[in-house]
Amino acid sequence: MTSRARATEIPRLVRRLGSRRPATVDAARARLAIIGARAVDALAESLEGDNNKVRANAMPLLALIHDARGREPLMAMLLDHDPRLREIAARALARFPSEHTVVALERLLDKEKAPRVRVAIVRALVEQYAAGQDRAVRQVVEILFDAEENPELRDAALGLLPLLPASERRGTLRRLRQDPSTELSSRVEEVERAHSAPVNVTATVQKRIRHLASDDYATWNEAVHRLSGIGGPAVGPLVEEMKRRAHDPEYCARAGMVLKGLGPRRGRCLAEALDQVEEPLPLQVLVEVAGDLGDKSLIYRLKNLIERIADKRAVPAERDGFDPMQRVRAKAHLELARVGSRLAIADLRDALSDQQRRLEPEMVAAVERIGKKDEIPDLLRAYLREDRFLRDRVVVAVRAIMKRERIRRNNRMFHSLSPRQVSALEAILPPVRAGRTSPRRKPKR
């Protein structure tokens, strides 16, 4: 796929987010979710436009792609004049756990008047706490114990209860049972009964899998926690539902939240799914889950997935040159690289040299982590054929490898480079200081 085709495809998909046809919007969302990091700049730019439908659909996609560049534009949307867009921005920021996100959400909560936006902020803070941001609990607890606060807001704060350590949860429940609000105390009793009642596993799994698709935050969020608690028996049915909803990035993302909640020990049962799932978006989520769980035996299985994708590369890509399995392959490489593995380095080098398929940013990030001097010529070839987006990442990767491997500009390996590769290397490396040599080839005698 040419750089020009790549440059025009993404803006076209972003424009389709404003279509009146739901099928067109869904197709664009699925495609952009798979394209991932390349689409972030265009999605972020769309938030500055005046098409509110595009903006409303772009924000959840930035959350799904989960690229750090998406956080600042979403934080800016918290100040939009439209409360519906502020609400969507708060929900999207729930997936960017950081101290900066918590501060922005707290600041908005202090001055926000719209009830639905306030509810979205509280739920986002609960998710921030679940992701390890301890500060996020402060205002949620204040709301939970404030008898004069909006009942709907306090109900949203109840989502904190399953996340608290057992001793804190018991103390919080005792205090809430004495709350003057009969509505809240009855909801507390419902929470207690739900967590103490005997579970019909099969029926509960199917019910929660359906609830995971709900438009109501409280319903699908509870399903996430319940399914994670059930563990292994939920994995098979959940993966099957992901396959059935393979063009629904939001559902697949929620399913990924469930699977990440299993923890490393229970997450090992995902190995079979990695070997069998064929649909790109569910596979992409499974790869991300394997990386987040951090179990090395599961991560090493990604080599098998890479080989399975490689066996199918003889099949032509889609008509416009876009191959959705390339993103899965790239993410698998990055997760292997994060644990320092060069198990699949041969395939990674093939990807760097392949002029028929787009190079994904995760592949360059993987080389940056585990690359050695032998990969530098491959990176230079990629630099010469790729667009500016990838060139910037190749620059970072080449510099990182040379620093880590202590490769000097006058290394003998550079003498075998082609003139174009030498030019690329000179463009990548910082300017030569006086008295230092550049990596030019030796002149022939």
Distance (Å, rounded) from C-alpha 318 to C-alpha 216?
A: 36
For residue 403, the tally of other CB atoms under 10 A from its CB is 9
Retrieve residue 231's tokens: 């563990």
pLDDT at 131: 79
CB 283 within 8 A of CB 328: yes
Q: What is the rounded average pLDDT of the residues 191-196?
A: 61
Query: Who wins on pLDDT, 375 or 161?
Result: 375
pTM for the whole structure:
0.71
pLDDT at 222: 81
In this predicted model, what pLDDT tens digit does every residue of 394-422 receive, in sequence order?
A: 999 999 999 999 998 888 888 888 999 99
pLDDT at 321: 52
Range name among 259-263, 273-277, 336-340, 384-388 with the lowest pLDDT average? 259-263
In this predicted model, what pLDDT tens digit does every residue of 283-319 receive, in sequence order?
A: 999 999 999 888 898 999 999 999 999 887 655 454 4
Q: Is the pLDDT of residue 435 over 60?
A: no
DSSP string, 23-89: HHHHHHHHHHHHHGGGGHHHHHHHTTSS-HHHHHHHHHHHHHHT-GGGHHHHHHHTT-S-HHHHHHH
Q: Is the pLDDT of residue 379 over 80?
A: yes
Q: Is the pLDDT of residue 178 over 80?
A: no
Query: Who wins on pLDDT, 200 or 386?
Result: 386
pLDDT at 197: 52
Distance (Å, rounded) from C-alpha 25 to C-alpha 28?
A: 5
Q: Taking the domains of the chain in order of start, what are their residue ranges? A: 301-445
Q: What mean pLDDT value characterizes the chain?
A: 86
Q: What is the rounded average pLDDT of the residues 57-76?
A: 91
Instruction: Give residue 162's pLDDT band: very low, low, confident or very high (50, 70, 90).
Output: confident
Give the DSSP H/E element, type plus range, for residue 263. Answer: helix 263-267
Instruction: Give residue 262's pLDDT band: very low, low, confident or very high (50, 70, 90).
Output: confident
Q: Is the pLDDT of residue 251 over 90?
A: yes
pLDDT at 295: 86
pLDDT at 443: 54
